[in-house]
Amino acid sequence: MSDFDHARYPIGPFERCTGPLDAVSRAALIEVIEETPQTFRDLVEPLTDAQLDTPYRAGGWTVRQVVHHVPDSHLNAYVRMKLAATENAPSVKAYDEALWAELPEARSAPAAVSLDLLETLHRRWALFLRALPEEDFLRRYVHSELGPVPLYETLAQYAWHGRHHAAHIKNAIQLARVPRQP
């Protein structure tokens, strides 16, 4: 991976699942979903507003925009999964995450607003996922850009997504783009 790719994908790009996940793999991914909000809170709460407004890489979003992006994205995923669990292969559309990240509240709202949303959303999401019968992880939605997406793949993707953006913030802190307060 080039330096640019590593900055963009610090844990590597998401690779689509080739088949259903076993119960142990699903449980581990649900645990990642459940732990993601605390990971973000631990990384972000010590940062100042100036540090939150620092890009995590050249040409990238600010740490604040990343913090607001994650619950935006995960809320969409949660709704898509619930649609797939209750409807027969529902159609879902993509959203322009880059434009959402440029909206005024994504550029300026306190990080705590999204940290609180992420915590509540993930608590509910984990309850939903743990109660979902094994066969329902085979249910799918039809994404406007990706085509059919089974729920087991969405689970894997969003566990990766939280780790992916947490790594962006960790890299920003470690590379002194966003130095921590003493």
Q: Residue 149 — φ and ψ, nearest 5°?
A: -130, 115
Rounded to two decimals, the pTM is 0.93
Indicate the SS3 state at residue 139: coil
Dist CA 124 CA 130 (whole Å): 10
Nearest to 60 by CA among 10, 16, 15, 110: 10
Among 3.40.50.2000, 1.20.120.450, 1.10.10.10, 2.40.50.140, what is the CATH number of 34-174? 1.20.120.450
| Pairing state between β 147-150 and 140-143 | antiparallel
pLDDT by position in tens, the chain (length 182): 555 588 899 999 999 888 899 999 999 999 999 999 999 999 999 998 988 998 988 889 999 999 999 999 999 999 999 999 999 999 999 999 999 999 999 999 999 999 999 999 999 999 999 999 999 999 999 999 999 999 999 999 999 999 999 999 998 887 655 445 55
Surface-to-core class of residue 41, CB atoms within 10 Å of its CB (0-12 exposed, 13-18 middle, 19+ buried) = middle
